[in-house]
Homo-oligomer: A and B are copies of this chain.
Amino acid sequence: MASQEMAEPLDALAPCSHARAESGCAVCKVWDVSVCAVLDASEPGSLQAIAEGVHYGKGETILLQGDAADAVYNIRHGTVCLYKLLPDGRRQIIGFRLPGDFMGLALPDQYPFSANAVEPVSACRFARSAFTSLVNDKPQLLHRLHEAATHELRLAQNHMVLLGRRTADEKVAAFLIGLRERWRRLGGSLVTIPLPMTRQDIADYLGLTLETVSRTISKLARSKMLLVVPDGVRLLDPGRIKALAAS
C-alpha cells in the first residue's frame, strides 16, 4: 500500500548493523525516556547489541494480531496506532505509540493487537528470544518493564472511564489534552498539537464515529477554544478544554 515510502533514505540503515555507531543509542533522541535508559548503552550485552533499526512507511502494518510474537519494538520516530478488530470490521484503537514508547510489554505467544504506522516510523526492533534472555539477565530491566506495564495499565484504566462514561465533547477534549501532554514531554509545543492520525483513527480511539469527531472539533473551533490547522490543532483556550476534559 505505502511500500513506495520505504524507499526513503532512512530505510538504508535498516539492514546495516555496522552503521549503528552513527544510528545507535548514543545518538538516539528518545533513549533517556525509553526503557533502554536503564541499561548502560556502551555495556556489552546491552540492548544496543540486539537492536535492529527498522522503518515503516505511512499506513504500513508493523504487526498483526494473531501473528507469532517474535519481536518487541521501541519507537524512535513517528506515530503508531495499536488496534483490535471485531469480526465484522469494527475497530477499536487501544492506544497511540509515540517516540520513546515501547511496544510489546506483554510477551505472549501471539500479538494481542495489530499495529499500524500512521506516519513514517522508525523503531528499534528486538528479537523476542534475545530480549527475553536479556530481561532474565538484568533484573533492573525487568523492573523497568514492570514499571512501564503498570503505567500503561493505569492509562488503560483511565481510558476505560473515558470510553464508558464520557460524552463526545469530553472524549475529544480529553484526547487533545492528553496528547498535548505527551508531545510536551517529548519537547513539543504547548499550543499546537500535531494530529498525524485521521479523524477515523481518533474516532476509533474514542469510541465515536468520524463524523462526530469532526463535528466536535468544529464546535470547539466555533467556540474559539481551538483553531484547526493542517495536520493538527492549535489550542486557543487550553483552560476551557481542560475543564471539558474534566477529571
Instruction: Pull 27 A–B residue pairs with CB atoms less than 8 Å apart, ordered by A.
Output: A84-B157, A84-B161, A86-B161, A87-B247, A88-B246, A92-B160, A92-B164, A92-B165, A94-B157, A94-B161, A105-B150, A105-B153, A106-B151, A113-B157, A142-B142, A142-B143, A142-B146, A145-B146, A146-B146, A146-B149, A149-B149, A159-B160, A160-B163, A164-B206, A164-B207, A165-B204, A165-B207
A92–B161 CB distance below 8 A: yes
Interface of A is mostly: helix
User: Which residues of A line the B interface, CB within 8 A?
Assistant: 84, 86-88, 90-92, 94, 105-108, 112-113, 139, 142-143, 145-146, 149-154, 156-161, 163-166, 204, 206-207, 246-247
- Each complex incorporates copies of this chain amounting to 2
Q: How far is the CB of A183 from chain B (nearest CB, A)?
A: 22
3 smallest beta-carbon distances between A and B, as pairs: A164-B207, A106-B150, A163-B163
Per the bound structure, the CA–CA distance linking A164 and B204 in Å amounts to 8
B107–A150 CB distance below 8 A: yes
Across-interface contacts of A204 in B (CB, < 8 A): 164-165
Q: Which residue of B lies closest to A155 (CB)?
A: B156
